[in-house]
Amino acid sequence: MDKVRVLFLPTVDAGNVNAQSLNVREITLRLDPEQFLTTLWYEAQPDPRLLNRPAIRLERLPRHGRTLRILKEMMSGYHIIAYIDYSPASYAFLHLPRFLRGRTKSVLHLEAPSAQMVKASRTLRFLYDGIFPRCDVYTGITEFVASDVQKSIGKKASHLLPVGVDTNLFTPPQSRSNAAPVVLFAGTLIERKGPQLVLDAAERFPHVEFHLVGASREGFGEFLQRRIAVSGLSNVKLDGPRSQLELVQIMRASDIFMLPSRLEGMPKVTLEAAATGLPSIVFRDYETPSVVDGITGFQVKTTEEMIQALDKLLSDSPLRQSMGQAARKHVESFSWDIVSQQWQGAYLKIAASRKP
């Protein structure tokens, strides 16, 4: 068959640290140029790794009329439109008569449980309800997410496609020699991600340093800053958003990774933390395969269990080291060089399954 033409919807700007943008760039860079032709969007400056690459086409989004521009591109006869999002363009495309969409397969990558929509805005809920049931193909980031969505909404994932990590970029330091352990949180500063629980831990362990990396949303960063000031938490630092290269250095300078979010799929940051040799503490709610309980870190049921697991790691340097080494070994199977081949195989099957 001819080369598979794929349109990815997330933008791929160099400074974009959104997980979907990062995933799309890593996947595209590894798709076989003899089998795929890929189109990517950018707003200002694309990731330089994508420039002048065979079989990669970069399209700049206009300042005005973006929905129409994206919709026009979606109707250009692609085999696959990947990473369908909850946008007006996706809504409009999926509500077109089938003959106008042609044989294009719309692929929705399920990356979180259905509960993600519980507190969604009216607009997002409207888009979600109009887009989700109309896609042609569904993939799941983990077995838990795929099973959850099938039970709650009745859509079955045809492929399990995990995300990966660049194990050549995210690497452990030669050694870790902090006088006192450093605990790291990385993620968007919103209530759902649980950074307020990191502050709870900082109050319990005043002689331990806590760093929170990530952009603030909905004013939650200001809320955390006020609480830090009122509680006198001199052991907490809000580092703000950081680039991938900066995050690598911060992880290498840390000792423990803590993610108190209860609503995730396979958190990309837990793969990155593992690749840099950090043991992680996460909630068991979403059963992420990126953390092996008792081996590469801990999966806990309650907030108190999370504090207990943190206490255990803080007080046991050899345990931190052994779990960190196990984490690095475990995450090698999630290297993008390996994971991208799963995506490539799935896309070839999806393209081949198009009905005439």
Q: Encode pLDDT of 32-54 as tens digits.
A: 999 999 999 999 999 999 999 99
Task: Among 2-16, 145-159, 282-296, 305-319, name the one with the lowest average pLDDT.
Answer: 145-159
Question: What's the pLDDT score for residue 116?
Answer: 78
- Domain range annotation of the chain: 4-164+336-352, 182-333
Residues 307 and 302: their CA atoms lie apart, in Å, by 9
For 318-326, what is the mean pLDDT?
Answer: 97
Q: Do the first three CATH levels of 4-164+336-352 and 182-333 match, i.e. the same topology?
A: yes
For 142-154, what is the mean pLDDT?
Answer: 91
CA end-to-end span of the chain: 14
Q: With pLDDT > 70 as the criterion, what percentage of the chain qualifies?
A: 99
Helix, strand, or coil (residue 156):
coil
The residue type of 145 is: V
Which positions ≥6 away from 118 have C-beta within 8 Å? Answer: none
Per-residue pLDDT reduced to its tens digit, 85-112: 999 999 999 999 999 999 999 999 999 8
Question: What's the pLDDT score for residue 94?
Answer: 97
Write the class of the CATH domain 4-164+336-352. Answer: alpha beta
- For residue 117, name the pLDDT band (cuts at 50, 70, 90): confident
Question: What's the pLDDT score for residue 356?
Answer: 47
Residues 220 and 322: their CA atoms lie apart, in Å, by 35
Compute the chain's Rg from CA coordinates. Answer: 21
Which positions ≥6 away from 50 have C-beta within 8 Å? Answer: 12, 25, 28, 29, 40, 56, 58
Residues 59 and 37: their CA atoms lie apart, in Å, by 13
- For residue 169, name the pLDDT band (cuts at 50, 70, 90): very high
Place of tokens 């979606």: 74
For 12-19, what is the mean pLDDT?
Answer: 93
Question: What's the pLDDT score for residue 115?
Answer: 79
The DSSP bridge pattern shows strands 182-186 and 209-213 to be: parallel
| Burial bucket for residue 9 (CB in 10 Å: 0-12, 13-18, 19+) | buried
Question: What's the pLDDT score for residue 105?
Answer: 97
Question: What's the pLDDT score for residue 307?
Answer: 97
User: Using the 8-state DSSP alphabet, how is residue 82 labeled?
Assistant: E
- For residue 269, name the pLDDT band (cuts at 50, 70, 90): very high
For 167-186, what is the mean pLDDT?
Answer: 95
Residues 255 and 120: their CA atoms lie apart, in Å, by 35
Query: Which among 205, 192, 109 is positioned nearest to 157, based on CA atoms?
Result: 109
For 232-257, what is the mean pLDDT?
Answer: 96
> How many helices, marked H, and strands, marked E, lie in the chain?
13, 13
pLDDT greater than 90 at residue 152: no
| CATH number of the 182-333 domain | 3.40.50.2000
Question: What's the pLDDT score for residue 120?
Answer: 79
Residue 75 and residue 48 in contact, taking contact as beta carbons nearer than 8 Å: no
Mean pLDDT, the chain, whole residue set: 95
| The token pair that represents 240 in the structure block | 């703000």
- For residue 354, name the pLDDT band (cuts at 50, 70, 90): low
| Separation of CA 180 from chain center | 30
